[in-house]
Amino acid sequence: MKLAVRVSMILALVALAAISAALLFSVPADAQGPVLADPECLGCHADSNLIKTLPSGELLSLYVDAALVAESVHGKKNIACAQCHSTITRFPHPEFVVADRRDVTLKLYGQCRQCHAENYSKSLDSAHTRALAGGDRNAAVCTDCHTAHTVTPPDQPRARIPQTCAQCHSTIFDDYAKSVHGADVLNGANPDVPTCIDCHGVHNIGDPTTAAFRLKSPEICAGCHTDPKRMAKYKISTNVLNTYVADFHGTTVQLFEKQSPDTPTNKPVCYDCHGVHNIRKPNDPNATVFKENLLKTCQQCHPDATDQTFTAAWMSHFDASPAKYPLVYYVNLFYTILIPLVIGGMALFVALDIYRRVRRLTPNADKPKTNRE
């Protein structure tokens, strides 16, 4: 009896474990189970000559390279074709009606949402989705960046990220590739320099042309440029944000950002002077902030400034010292001495005056009384 009970309990536990394991290791879509097995799909779609002419006149290859799919992140997890192509439930399947090649992508990319709901919903806030909703069929969707069948980790290697964006933003990529950041990513895969997504975000890429983005942008640059660890490697000052905010331009931008984030301001942010994608080292003769180019950069906003001396009105992110901006340094020093001296003197005099009045009010202090007599 006892043995029978024990055996049945063990069996029950094993069964429970098996069920849990099945639940744990199953891929989410497995719950429904693919109706079709991959070989059935590949029966036709492994044919590299399977090409369809679309109503637009474009040709659409229906070929799927099973080997590449198997190497993809999905292939490695044995995700079946029909798990993504979930509308295909039987063989043969009804005709997939599309107008043109772009239509194929736009009709299918929504399938990613099944498993990647978080990133999918993030992407709904992106400039791409907004452009798509506004009728721009070229706006990127999931598969434009990730591909459909050959999905591999998009940041391996890191230099792949700008290449992905370059598919549509090639002119910006060309600028970026020549910049201090881009050159280091593309040539050396330097992990310290930003790729596109470090500044623009990944799935919820915002519209970088809004006032809000512009006002917030110094924080993006400051993310790295105030990090002492990262900056020490390149001997770059981490004081760049502080000196910017301390100045007229930065003070204004910071206040706008906090108080009226959607109101445009004509005061510059980092990239107005340093360049957007084409940022170069300040000592690069092609840099917008290179000494000889600085006046031209200032003239973007100050067209009347024609004197090279004007550029020195901006302290180039330096703190005033006897070596750099001595005039400012000595003015500050003068007031550092003058203010305590004057105000201290005044306060001391006032304190003495109060001291006399208080002493006179005190009954025991008979001295002033004698004085009066």
Partner 1 sequence: MANEQFYERFPRAQRLEHWLLVFSFTVLAVTGLPQKFAGDAWAETLIAGMGGIEMVRVIHHLAAIVLLLESVYHGVVVAYKMFVVRVRWTMFPQLQDAADALNAVLYNLGVRKNAPEFDRYSFAEKAEYWALVWGTVIMAFTGFMLWNPIITSRFLPGDAIPAAKAAHGAEAILAALAIVIWHFYHVHLKTLNRAMFTGKLSAPEMRAEHPAELARIQAGASEPIPAPALIAQRRRGFIPIATVVSILLLLGVFLFITAETTAVTTVPKPSAKVQVFAPRTLTPTRVPTRAATALPGQTPIAQPTQKPSIGPAPIPASHAGRAVCQVCHVTGVGTAPKNPADHAGRLDASCTDCHKPK
Residues between 98 and 127 that touch partner 1 (CB under 8 A):
101-102, 104-105
Q: Which of 168, 212, 222, 236 binds partner 1 (CB under 8 A)?
A: 168
* Residue 71 or 247 having the CB closest to partner 1: 247
Residue closer to partner 1 (CB basis): 234 or 248: 248
Say if CB 150 and CB 70 are below 8 A apart: no
- Asked if residue 202 binds partner 1 (CB under 8 A), the reply is no
Beta-bridge mates of residue 53? 59
- For residue 245, give the nearest of 274, 222, 261, 275 by alpha carbon: 222
Cβ closer to partner 1: 233 or 357?
357
- Contact between 204 and 193 under an 8 Å Cβ cutoff? The reply is no
Residue 362, interface with partner 1 (CB under 8 A)? no
Site for partner 1 in 212-231 (CB under 8 A): none
In the set 20, 26, 121, 260, which binds partner 1 (CB under 8 A)?
260
Choose which of 96, 213, 290, 310 interacts with partner 1 (CB under 8 A): 310
Say which residue the tokens 């931008």 belong to.
253
> What distance in Å separates the CA atoms of residue 291 and residue 294, rounded to the nearest whole number?
5
Q: Which residues of 272-286 are buried (b: 16+ CB within 10 A; e: fewer)?
A: bbbbbbbbbebeeee
At 60, give phi and psi (nearest 5°): -130, 120
In this complex, which beta carbon is closest to partner 1, that of residue 119 or of residue 299?
A: 299
| Shorter beta-carbon distance to partner 1: residue 170 or 364 | 170
Q: Which among 253, 182, 243 has a CA at the least distance from the CA of 213?
A: 253
Q: Does 355 bind partner 1 (CB under 8 A)?
A: yes
Residue 327 binds to partner 1 (criterion: CB under 8 A) = yes
Least Å from the CB of residue 124 to partner 1: 20
Residues 7-46 that bind partner 1 (CB under 8 A): 37, 39-40, 42-44, 46
Whether the Cβ atoms of residue 173 and residue 165 lie closer than 8 Å to each other: yes
Short-list 196, 207, 28, 62, CA closest to 125: 207
Binding residue for partner 1, selected from 264, 285, 286, 369, defined by CB under 8 A: 264
Distance CA 263, CA 215 (A): 9
Q: Is 156 in the site for partner 1 (CB under 8 A)?
A: no
Minimum CB distance to partner 1 smaller for 50 or for 73 = 50
352 touches partner 1 (CB under 8 A): yes
Confirm or reject binding of residue 350 to partner 1 (CB under 8 A): yes
Among 9, 15, 343, 369, binds partner 1 (CB under 8 A): 343
Contact between 353 and partner 1 by CB under 8 A: the answer reads: yes
Shortest Å, Cβ 105 to partner 1:
6
Q: φ, ψ for residue 80 (rounded to 5)?
A: -80, 155
Contacts of 77 by beta carbon, 8 Å cutoff, 6+ apart: 27
Q: Could you say which of 82, 268, 287, 289 contacts partner 1 (CB under 8 A)?
A: 268
User: What number of chain residues touch partner 1 (CB under 8 A)?
Assistant: 95
**Pairwise CA distance, residues 224 & 217, whole Å:** 12
Among 12, 17, 338, 369, binds partner 1 (CB under 8 A): 338
Q: Whose Cβ is closer to partner 1: residue 230's or residue 276's?
A: 276
Contact 80, 36 (CB under 8 A): yes
Q: Does 286 bind partner 1 (CB under 8 A)?
A: no
Cα dihedral 99, 101, 106, 112 sign: positive
Per CB under 8 A, 204 contacts partner 1: no
d(Cα 44, Cα 250) in Å, to the nearest integer?
62
Q: In angstroms, what is the minimal distance from the CB of 1 to partner 1? A: 48
